[in-house]
Structure 1
Amino acid sequence: MVLINSHEYHKCWGTANAGLSETSMWPFMSRTDVQTCTTWKAPILWEGMFDPEVYDQNHKKEGSSVALTVFAVGRYLDEYLETFLNSSEHHFMVGLPVSYYVFTDMPEKVLHIHLGPQRTLKMIKVQRHSRWQDISMMRMKAISDVIESDIRHHSTHVFCFDVDQVFTGRFGSEALGDSVALLHAYYYHLPKIFYTYDRNPKSKAYMENGDFYYHAAVFGGSWKSVKSLAEGCYQNIMEDKQNNVEALWHDESHLNKYLWLHKPSRVLSPEYCWDTHIGYRSDIQVTRLLWAPKQYDKLRTP
């Protein structure tokens, strides 16, 4: 556990919360049991550290809008997409304009979802690759392409999600930032020696050390930052392919390398993507997004 003093706390949040009053920042002081600020002064968001109404009001005034990208290819569409979207309607960025971008190889099978006001859904047909690893890695190019062709004209921010997840609590405007990364639920409390970075020097994802271990199931930021991340990861993935190299955890390995070189401006605690199989942890006071039951043997077969 790493604690920070009040001076460091205010220095961290003073930058991240420009425009917020001193009074509105007092709730951030309530968490002394967890690390709340990175070494480069980016906030790490935990329950009790923010006033939801203040964030929502500010983002509405600023005209913030969010694009959500999600891939539902093959059996993942039938198994997870409907639950993911329905739960998102109840919990994700409620009160802000949200545009869903569903990437799928079978758009005709996407069921009708009742959407709230200021919320739209677009389907984008993508190729189904024979290996799930290729589906995972090639999403970076698809995300970059749709940001360039569509999202940048309509949305200020982008969040990218894996489909095998369920929203269970507020995932709101407090999560918006220029570059947003998520602490992996299985690694956030472990020493760095256990982080599963790619250790192959031949890979562009190779890392000797890092700050945290980030989970590729959730990442986001301004459309410009997400486009840069997706392009950077895709370029490195393709260079690895040309050299007959595949990173240990595919796009997640490349994402960790990118975020090591380009520090995120906001970090989400594991509340924002939790696995109940981990069991009880006192620092997880609320869960906002849960891993859905995994059925890899069923879903990842041709």
Structure 2
Amino acid sequence: MEKLERLRPIRCFFFGLCCVLVFVCSLSWNVMKNSPWHPRNIFICDTHPAENIVFPPVEEPDVRLERMLYPKPETLKPPRTDVLTITPWLAPIVWNGTFNSDILNAQFHKRGVRIGITTFAIKKYIRFLKDFLETGEKFFMVGHKVNYYIFTDRAQDIPNVTLSEGRNIHIINVTAYQRWQDVTMRRMQMIRDQTYTRFMNEVDYLVCVDVDMRFYGSVGVEILGDVFGTLHPGFFGASRAQFTYDRNPKSVACIPVDEGDFYYAGGYFGGIIEEVYKLTNYCHTAMMTDKAIGIEALWHDESYLNKYFLYYKPTKVLSPEYVWNNYYGSPRAVQIKRFIGIDKDYKEVRFRR
């Protein structure tokens, strides 16, 4: 009995402490009921958002399109069965007959894309620029906003060509290197630098091509993608062993004989600005790495481009329709020749001023 009397104060203390804790917990529960840390909000999934949550206003995109009539695509009847139309990594290969230009144009017009095209008219190659621009106005991205970026050492010789509305010529003055090999290899550096300082603010897509070419057929938004390369007209039906990759194991451009998907042409590539920057930066850096140890890749910038596309797959591949050369004749698979190299005396334009 005496022992119980001694414990009475202790029991009273704990009873009072419990009452205080119950009061504090009750008060805290009510205060926190609107807090995200309230147990009810942590452990209970409420399908209805709290009334006091205010979402920022979101501008609804205008997704309305004009009514369009065209033949229904047939799942069991592919438009082309004579050529490969998709890569093993699911990138489309663009051939004539595999796309609908009207659908693509409607989509790209809705997005209001701006397209840039680069070419190098250096030394005697300035003579090809007029034909390049005039045929470009007839066939390249007709109806879309286009910036022609002309890299040249002869700005005073740029021809006067009438352009359609929304299309402009921009002249970029560059140094004319003594050797044509240096001119072609330095293209990657020049495109990279301009992409970072200028192109990223002016266009959404960049198409990089040679100037000694002329457009013969429509080249439209079907070519555009994150990053694209073009099948070389001389090797689109060749085996790996026939590809003229650089095989020097000391070169960054080296591709072993048991590797390789396609052989890509060095004079036709592009994509969104970010991807073109990555591609050109890689190629230029690789060239400078080789140059530091006295190595020059077999086919210069084309060799490094092929190395890049082997390990960083393009998201779209263009058929040789887009960079044809009449030297290769008229194979049945090439139904249309959209962009063709001009016959010329290479020694005369490359080695004589």
Q: Same fold (TM over 0.5)?
A: yes
Match of 2:171 in 1: 123
> What amino acid does structure 2 have at the position aligned with 1:55?
L
Q: How does 1:153-232 map to 2 (within 5 A)?
A: 153-208=201-256, 209-232=259-282
Identify the match of residue 31 of structure 1 among 80, 83, 86.
Answer: 80
SS of the counterpart of 2:351?
Answer: coil
Match of 2:38 in 1: none
Match of 2:117 in 1: 68
Match of 2:334 in 1: 284
- Any conservation in 2 of the 1:45–1:269 contact (CA below 8 Å)? yes
Q: 1:25: Cα distance to partner? A: 7.5
SS of the counterpart of 2:78?
Answer: helix
TM-aligned CA distance change 1:28 to 1:178, over 3 Å: farther
SS of the counterpart of 1:58?
Answer: helix
Asked if 1:236 is matched to 2:286, the reply is yes
Identify the match of residue 43 of structure 1 among 92, 95, 119.
Answer: 92
CA distances 1:136-160 after superposition (whole Å, capped 9, x unpaired): 0001111011111211112110000
CA distances 1:105-129 after superposition (whole Å, capped 9, x unpaired): 1111111111111101110111011
> What amino acid does structure 2 have at the position aligned with 1:103?
F
CA distances 1:153-211 after superposition (whole Å, capped 9, x unpaired): 12110000111111000000011000110000000011111000000011110001211
Q: 1:26: Cα distance to partner? A: 6.2
- Any conservation in 2 of the 1:97–1:119 contact (CA below 8 Å)? yes
Match of 1:77 in 2: 126
- Any conservation in 2 of the 1:24–1:51 contact (CA below 8 Å)? no
TM-score (structure 1 length as normaliser) = 0.90
Gaps of 5+ in 2: 1-69
Gaps of 5+ in 1: 1-20
Match of 1:11 in 2: none
TM-score (structure 2 length as normaliser) = 0.77
Match of 1:148 in 2: 196
Please give the root-mean-square deviation of Cα atoms over the aligned residues, in Å.
1.6
Question: Within 2, Cα distance between the matches of 1:281 and 1:296?
Answer: 25
- Any conservation in 2 of the 1:151–1:223 contact (CA below 8 Å)? yes
CA distances 1:3-26 after superposition (whole Å, capped 9, x unpaired): xxxxxxxxxxxxxxxxxx994586
Higher relative contact order (CA 8 A, sep 6+): 1
Aligned length: 281
Which 4+ runs in 1 deviate beyond 6 A? 25-28
CA distances 1:55-97 after superposition (whole Å, capped 9, x unpaired): 011011112111000001000102x111011111111111110
SS of the counterpart of 2:265?
Answer: coil
Q: 1:294: Cα distance to partner? A: 2.7
Structure of greater Rg: 2
> What amino acid does structure 1 have at the position aligned with 2:252?
K
- Any conservation in 2 of the 1:27–1:51 contact (CA below 8 Å)? no
- Any conservation in 2 of the 1:27–1:49 contact (CA below 8 Å)? no
Question: Within 2, Cα distance between the matches of 1:245 and 1:170?
Answer: 39
